[in-house]
Structure 1
């Protein structure tokens, strides 16, 4: 399941993040790529050793973790440290799949939080490949795309301006993506029922089913 989440950061938070990132030390993005991805990765990443970015990493991580739609879709057990990436001057990231294990954590879900105004750069689309074709994403600053880490994906060359984004990964309590989608749909439906009818017998039964399915499937 892929899901776009809008307004993870508000305009003031986006501005604050961009200001901090503009002052950060950047390094070759290949330093964090696997051996195969190094051949197709051409971008820059803010140095993980740059402590000046710690407040922004904390802010963005907090906003992501506390976003209700993200929580429903991902059911995260653990989040990776965020990476801030920058693309300019034809930089790109060719087709690749994310590593299954990162820093000792199994990776189930990938996410990209866009931080640059899309009108300020050309190219830089995130393209997610699947058996049904390709989907392209270039979102407003502060919005995020969440997608399975099992997919092949790429970032198109940036031909004007700069593409700035925060990227990260999650380990989910629910390992199977089909089960995660079923839980997301059921949780969405029960919230609709609650908004329409309040706490009703139908809501209680759906809540019971949701809780027991999580209990059945959770990988804790």
Structure 2
């Protein structure tokens, strides 16, 4: 699956993010790359333990926790703490697949990567190149969104970030472990939930057909969810 979530952050929020990031210390992204990714990863990242990264991360998590479209699509059980990167001066991340299981530093928790997310923090005209390309996913060619928009996609596909040959591409990225592990089941629930929401706008919330569909949704979720 691939879903674009527009305006997760407002333009004012993006402006505030960029002001904080401009004052932060950036490290070579290779420091956090896995063994196979080291030769492919050429970017900069914020230190996850820094005050700036912590504050921005918590803001994103608060926004995600109250965003109905994200919750409907991802059914998030766990979210890997958002990280922040910058691509410039030819920076790129070659073709790779995200790790299946990711330990969260400083905790005894790990996150299974069912879904990957990239939240764009630069406008498309601020840099040349830097497209996110996802193989095998319809609509996954050359993704380059407005600042504040986020793309959510299945983690099991090969993907890459093309070289940034001019300007700088700032983004946040993270992974989600869904309550519903199976992608087809999760997509079915998403489509059903969106249909229910659309019907609720046209019919009374107590309409018998809306109530029936809502019951089907929750019984499917009860059957397919893992906790």
Which of the five TM-score ranges fits, normalised by the shorter chain? over 0.9
Report the Cα offset of residue 131 of structure 1: 7.1
Name the structure 2 match of 1:124.
130
Change beyond 3 A, Cα 1:184–1:133: closer
- For 1:5-62, what per-residue CA distance to the aligned partner results, in whole angstroms no more than 9, with x for missing partners? 0000001110011111111111111111111111111001001121233222111121
Name the structure 1 match of 2:95.
95
Where structure 1 has 5 or more consecutive residues not aligned to the other structure, the ranges are none
Name the structure 2 match of 1:196.
202
- Is the 2:4–2:149 contact (alpha carbons within 8 Å) kept by the matching residues of 1? yes
Q: In structure 2, what is the Cα distance between the partners aligned to 1:52 and 1:83?
A: 11
Name the structure 2 match of 1:210.
217
- 1:145 matched to 2:116? The reply is no
**Where in structure 2 are the equivalents of 1:1-220 lying within 5 Å?**
1-103=1-103, 104-130=110-136, 135-199=141-205, 200-220=207-227
Where structure 2 has 5 or more consecutive residues not aligned to the other structure, the ranges are 104-109
Report the Cα offset of residue 132 of structure 1: 6.5
- For 1:41-93, what per-residue CA distance to the aligned partner results, in whole angstroms no more than 9, with x for missing partners? 10010011212332221111211232111100000001111110000000000
Secondary structure at the residue paired with 1:71? helix
Q: In structure 1, what is the Cα distance between the partners aligned to 2:182 and 2:137?
A: 18
RMSD: 1.3
TM-score of the two chains, using structure 1 as the length reference:
0.97
Secondary structure at the residue paired with 1:186? helix
Change beyond 3 A, Cα 1:133–1:5: closer
TM-score of the two chains, using structure 2 as the length reference:
0.94
- Is the 1:27–1:47 contact (alpha carbons within 8 Å) kept by the matching residues of 2? yes
Name the structure 1 match of 2:107.
none
